[in-house]
Amino acid sequence: MISITICQNLPHKPGVYLMKDAKRRILYVGKARDLQSRVKSYFSRSSPKIEALLQKVASIDYIITPSEKEALILECNLIKNHRPRFNVVLRDDKNYPYLRIDLREKWPRFTITRKMIKDGASYFGPFASAKAVRETLRSMSQIFPLRKCGDFVFKHRTRPCLNYQIGRCSAPCMGYISEEDYKKIAVQACQFLEGKAQGILATLEQQMQEAASRLEYERAAFYRDRIWAIKKTLEKQVMVLPDFLNRDVVAYMKWPQAERIEVIVLQIRNGYLLAERKYGLNLGALNDKEAFEEFITQYYHRQDIIPEEIILPLLPEQRNILEEWLSEKANTKIKLKQPSSESERRLLNMAMENLKHYLYNQSQNALTDLKERLKLPKIPLRIECFDISNIQGQFTVASMVVFEDGKSAREEYRRYKLRLEGHPNDYAMMEEVLKRRYKKKEKLPDLIVIDGGKGQLQIALRVLAEQGLGISVIAVAKGRRRKEDKIYLPERKNPLYLPERSLGLKLLKTIRNEAHRFAITYYQKLHRKDSLNSVLDSIPGIGPKRKAILWQHFSSLEEIKNTDLNTLYQLGIPRNIAQKLKAALNEKNSKHQIS
C-alpha cells in the first residue's frame, strides 16, 4: 500500500494518473484538472472500495496533458485499451453489432460487423444483440431495396435473385437500376437510420408525383410502395416530442442487491423514439454518480452520431469540457442538460420507470431461476446468508445479510462478535452463529445460504434439525481459481455448477459477496479499534476520556498521524501529549512502512 507522501511528486497540472500494482498492472485510470490534488483526495475519502484499491496500489504514474479536454480523451482511450478492474468499463466494441455501409462504393450495401474502424464508411449502432440488428436489416430491406449479396456473387450473377422477385432488391447486378438512383436509395437508407424519415417521405412523395405526371406509372408505384413501407415502420415508433429534435435521454439506477448501476439510453430522432438500450456496469472504485459520469464519457467516445441534446438526471462536474469535446466530435453544437420542460421531464420519468421495471423483472427471474435449479419447494422471497471472518482466530465475527424479493434489506442485517477465540474452528464458529440466530424462530427465511463447503452445510442442517426447522439450506464455495462457484445441496454427493450466465447464480454471488463485505467491514472496525487502543494505551496522559475524543473524530491511526498538531490542540489534547502521540505514530509507521 502506498502512502500519501507519494503525492508530493505529482504536479499541479491537468493530466491522467495510472494506479498500478506491484506487478505494474494498471488498476485504475483517472483524469484530473490538478493531478496532485486529485490523487491526495483518495487518502481523505473513506470507503471500502477506495481502501481496497489503495491496498493494492504500489505506484502511481501520470501523463501531463495540455488541457482537461485532452485528459478526458486520453482517459477514455486508456480505459478502453487496458480495461482496469477498478474502473467502470463498457464492454468492448466487438461485443456489440453494428450496421456498416460505405457510400464510396459503386453499389454499396449494408453488412453486420462487430468492429468499428476509421475506414471512411458509415456505422450505425451499437445494437443490443445480433437479433436486433438482423431485424433492423430485414425491415430496412422492405423500404430500401439495396443488394444483399457479396461482391463475388454480385459480379457473377446471370439472372436476378429471389430478393428482386419479392421487391427487396433493385437488381443492380442486372443493370435494372442506374448507379445514380441506386446511390440515392443508399443515402436515404442512411438518413432513415439517422432518424430523418420525415424528410425522406417528403422527397419520395415529390418523386412519385413527378413520375406520375410523366406517365411513368411503374416508377411512381415503386415510390408509392416505399412511402407506404416507411409510414408503416413509423407507425410502430412512438412520437414523444413534437419539435423534431434529435435527443438522447440517459438515466441510471443502482441495482438494489449489488455494487452495480444499470444505465438506459433512449434514442429520440426527429421526435420519434427509435431505440432503447441498457448497460449494466460494476461500480469499481466509484460511487453511483461518478460511475454514471464515466459512462457518459465512454459511451459518447464510441459514438459517431451524437444528438444535439443529451438529457440527464444530473449534470457532470465537467459539463463544459464534455460539451466542448462532443461538439468538436459531432461538428455541431452539443448540449448536456437536465429536463427543463414538462415533456422532457416525462421522458426522463419514462426512462426511470423502464429501469425500475427491468430491475424488478431481473430480480424475480433470478428468484424463479434459483427455485428451479436448486429444486426448492417455493420461490425464495427471503434469503439469509452467513459468513465468518477472522485471522488466526482473533476478532472472530460473523455476518448475516438478508435479501427480500431479490433486493438487499439492510435494516435486517446482523453482525455477531463470536465468543470462540484462539485456535480457529470454522465449523464451531458457524454452529454458534446459526444457533444464536434461529433459537428465537422469528421471521424465518425461505432459503439459508452458507459461505462454505460440505462441512458447513452439515453443521447448518444439524442446527436446523435441533431447532425443529425445515428451512431450505445450501452452501456456496468458490472454486480453486475462484472462477467456478460450487453449490452444495443436502442429499447430493457432488457439488452443483450453475451456468455462468444463470441469473440465479449471479444473485447467489451477489448475496455471498455482500455477506463477505459486511463481515470484513465489522472485522476491520474491531481490528482498527484494537490497534488504536493499543497505541493510545502506551502513551502517558491519554486516558479513557481523551481516547474517546480521538475515537469520535478519527477512524484510524493513519488519520491521526496525518493530521496537524493544531487540530489535536483544538480537540483538547495538551501540546506535550499531542507531540508524544505524533512521535509514537511516526515511529510505528516507520517500522511497518509499505511503499
Of 525, 550, 576, which one is at a domain's C-terminal end? 525
* Same domain for 341 and 257: yes
Does some domain include residue 237?
no
- By mean pLDDT, which of 189-193, 340-344, 552-556 is the weakest? 552-556
pTM of the model: 0.59
* Same domain for 492 and 445: yes
Does some domain include residue 207?
no
User: Confidence class of residue 384 from pLDDT cuts 50, 70 and 90?
Assistant: very high
Question: 42-84: per-residue pLDDT in tens?
Answer: 887 666 678 778 888 888 999 999 888 889 989 988 888 888 8
* Same domain for 435 and 467: yes
* Same domain for 157 and 189: yes
pLDDT at 238: 54
**CB–CB of 295/313 below 8 Å?**
no
Does some domain include residue 301?
yes
pLDDT at 108: 92
* Same domain for 519 and 385: yes
- The rounded mean pLDDT for the chain is 82
Q: Provide, rounded to the nearest whole percent, the portion of the chain with pLDDT above 70.
A: 86
* Same domain for 297 and 257: yes
* Same domain for 348 and 256: yes
Whether the predicted pLDDT of 190 surpasses 80: yes
Q: What is the CATH number of the domain that holds 298?
A: 3.30.420.10
Structural domain harbouring 576: 538-591
Whether the predicted pLDDT of 480 surpasses 70: no
Whether the predicted pLDDT of 562 surpasses 80: no
* Same domain for 70 and 132: no
> Which residues, at least 6 apart from 215, have a Cβ–Cβ distance to it below 8 Å?
none
Whether the predicted pLDDT of 591 surpasses 50: no
Determine the average pLDDT of the residues in 321-328. 92
Whether the predicted pLDDT of 94 surpasses 60: no
Question: 328-351: per-residue pLDDT in tens?
Answer: 988 899 999 999 988 889 889 989
**CB–CB of 456/473 below 8 Å?**
no
pLDDT at 476: 92
User: Confidence class of residue 371 from pLDDT cuts 50, 70 and 90?
Assistant: very high
Of 67, 87, 107, which one is at a domain's C-terminal end? 87
Q: Helix, strand, coil % (nearest 5) of the chain?
A: 45, 20, 35
Does some domain include residue 571?
yes
* Alpha carbon separation from 2 to 46, 85, 554 (Å, rounded): 15, 18, 20
Q: What is the CATH number of the domain that holds 427?
A: 3.30.420.340
Taking alpha carbons only, the member of 9, 81, 91, 79 closest to residue 286 is 79
* Same domain for 548 and 494: no
pLDDT at 382: 93
User: Confidence class of residue 440 from pLDDT cuts 50, 70 and 90?
Assistant: confident
Determine the average pLDDT of the residues in 398-415. 87
Question: 309-319: per-residue pLDDT in tens?
Answer: 999 999 988 89
User: Confidence class of residue 531 from pLDDT cuts 50, 70 and 90?
Assistant: low
pLDDT at 123: 84
Determine the average pLDDT of the residues in 468-479. 89
Whether the predicted pLDDT of 386 surpasses 90: yes
* Same domain for 175 and 74: no
Of 59, 87, 115, which one is at a domain's C-terminal end? 87
* Same domain for 561 and 518: no
Does some domain include residue 124?
yes
pLDDT at 374: 93
Does some domain include residue 105?
yes
Q: Is 392 exposed, middle or buried (0-12, 13-18, 19+ CB in 10 A)?
A: exposed
Does some domain include residue 240?
no
pLDDT at 87: 86
Handedness of CA 136, 138, 139, 140 (dihedral sign): positive
Sheet holding 111-113, edge to edge: 111-113, 98-101, 122-124
Determine the average pLDDT of the residues in 190-216. 81
Determine the average pLDDT of the residues in 219-248. 72
Higher pLDDT residue, 209 or 4? 209
Q: Number of structural domains, the chain?
A: 5
**CB–CB of 123/116 below 8 Å?**
yes
* Same domain for 148 and 31: no
Higher pLDDT residue, 455 or 143? 455
Whether the predicted pLDDT of 235 surpasses 80: no
Whether the predicted pLDDT of 366 surpasses 60: yes
Does some domain include residue 208?
no
Question: 250-293: per-residue pLDDT in tens?
Answer: 999 988 656 788 999 988 877 777 778 888 888 877 888 888 99
